[in-house]
Amino acid sequence: AASPAAPAVPVTAPTPPVLPTPVQAPGGSDVETAMLTNLYERVNVSVVNITILGKVGDLVDPSLPIPTPQNPDELVPTSQGSGFVWDTEGHIVTNAHVVEGAEGVRITFADGTSTTAEVIGSDPDADLAVVKVDPATAALVAVARGSMNDVKVGQRVAAIGNPFGYNGTLTVGVVSAIGRSISSLTQFNIPSVIQTDAPINPGNSGGPLLNMDGAVIGVNAQIETTNGVRANSGVGFSIPISIVERVVPALISEGVYRHAYLGISGSTFSPFCADVLGIDPTLRGAYVNDVAQGGPSDAAGVRGGSRAINKLTCPEMAGGDLITAINDQPVTRFDDLLVYLETYSSPGDTITLTVLRDGKEQKISIELGRRPQRSQ
């Protein structure tokens, strides 16, 4: 006899996944799109294209066509960058390297209005400069300024500038790191720099890095390069607003900014070098490799290394002071000294270093000098 048929098993169609519905903003767009669109509409009016004028032989921007001057003395576009309106008096902030060597400067605003500008101040140590336009020649909308106290790794940021001459370009990313140190146009480094993956390319230099409120938190200055190729690699650097707020007013009023000068070179102390340096490996601080002859630290008696050692990745000389505090503020790395001097000190101020020398702690008072002028 035939076996009874198995009961039919009902087939249930798979339930499609439920995707989250984007949060809608007025007008039907998602919140992030609305935020970025609003930011761009508010801030782009404050961002300018800076065209540098010079002789044909000074052409440094490969994205510019090779000009054909009408006469040998005619000034032609040689390079370009970005900038932003600082105030309604006509002051515009950019990088020092953007305007370096300029024989003429032309500013183009977001609405296409163009006018000439004058470089009124430049600080190669911070890579910042200020140019000024006649406020009667354009409708000037000053940027809002943020605070480094609110800048966190991972927060969203935007950059507006003119990469490769494409005016008013918005790019978006995050703060990848803070507290970086990058080279300036001189032998001194710029501390407290913001690293971002917001795409920054040649032509973005001098433009603003913005938080999502549209406030400036940095001035875009450099990108990481590989084998000399100057294209975005997701590693860009912006001079922090904390330094901009100190330097720019001085450039406007005096044309220069006077950086405090300690007159030492050194490195962050590593426990790996504790044995050859004769320093307790549990300590942290800034090790003094060398003291500039005749400088403020030399006059105060700060001691640099004096005994040759031979251990890779360690200072070349032992016997230097270990700086553990400046004005009672802890120093755990050499950049802490740079940050303190750039943020809180001026030439002529007296600061107190706490140092460890021959195993004993002592205090050294130093009257800060002014950084030596840029070496040629």
Phi, psi dihedral angles at 177 (to 5 degrees): -165, 160
Active site residue 346: no
Is the pLDDT assigned to residue 18 strictly greater than 70? no
- Catalytic residue chosen out of the listed positions 79, 205, 238, 345: 205
Mean pLDDT calculated for residue range 82-93: 98
Return the SS3 of 164. Answer: helix
| Sequence-ordered list of residues with C-beta below 8 angstroms from that of 22, at least 6 positions apart, any chain | 30, 31
Q: Does residue 261 register a pLDDT over 50? A: yes
Number of neighbouring beta carbons within 10 Å of residue 280:
13
Across residues 155-182, what is the average pLDDT?
96
pLDDT on residue 111: 94
pLDDT at 22: 55
Mean pLDDT over 70-96 rounds to 91
State residue 30's pLDDT score: 82
| Residue of 70 and 195 predicted with greater confidence | 195
pLDDT greater than 50 at residue 348: yes
The pLDDT score that the predictor gives to residue 373 is 79
Residue with tokens 């000098």: 369
Reported confidence tier of residue 74, pLDDT bands at 50, 70, 90: confident
Q: Is 91 a catalytic residue?
A: no
Contact 259, 342 (CB under 8 A): yes
Residue of 79, 82, 97, 123 marked active site: 97
Range name among 38-42, 162-166, 226-230, 343-347 with the lowest pLDDT average: 226-230
Q: Is residue 230 over pLDDT 60? A: no
The confidence score (pLDDT) of residue 292 equals 96
pLDDT attached to residue 256: 97
Q: Is the pLDDT of residue 11 over 70?
A: no
Average pLDDT of every residue of the chain: 90
Pick from 55, 58, 99: nearest CA to 80? 99
Question: Has residue 318 got a pLDDT over 80?
Answer: yes
How many residues comprise the chain? 376
- Out of 46, 79, 91, 127, pick the active-site residue: 127
Is 70 exceeded by the pLDDT of residue 24? no
Query: What φ, ψ does residue 120 adopt, rounded to 5°?
Result: -105, -10
Cα–Cα dist 134/115, whole Å: 8
Reply yes or no on whether the pLDDT at 374 is more than 90.
no
pLDDT of residue 13: 58
Confidence of residue 376 (pLDDT cuts 50, 70, 90): very low
pTM for this one? 0.86
pLDDT at 61 over 60: yes
pLDDT value, residue 31:
86
- Cα–Cα distance list, 329 to 288, 318, 336, 360 (Å): 17, 25, 9, 19
pLDDT confidence band for 64 (50 / 70 / 90): confident
CA distances in angstroms from 79 to 75, 229, 233, listed in the order given: 12, 17, 22
- Amino acid of residue 336: D
Over range 72-89, report the average pLDDT: 90
Residue 15: per-residue pLDDT: 61
Strands (E), 262-359: 264-268, 286-291, 307-308, 317-318, 322-326, 329-330, 350-357
- Pairing between β-strand 286-291 and β-strand 307-308 as defined by DSSP bridges: unpaired
Distance of alpha carbon 43 from alpha carbon 170, whole angstroms: 10
Ramachandran bin of 119, using left for φ above 0, alpha for ψ from -120 to 50, beta for the remaining angles: beta
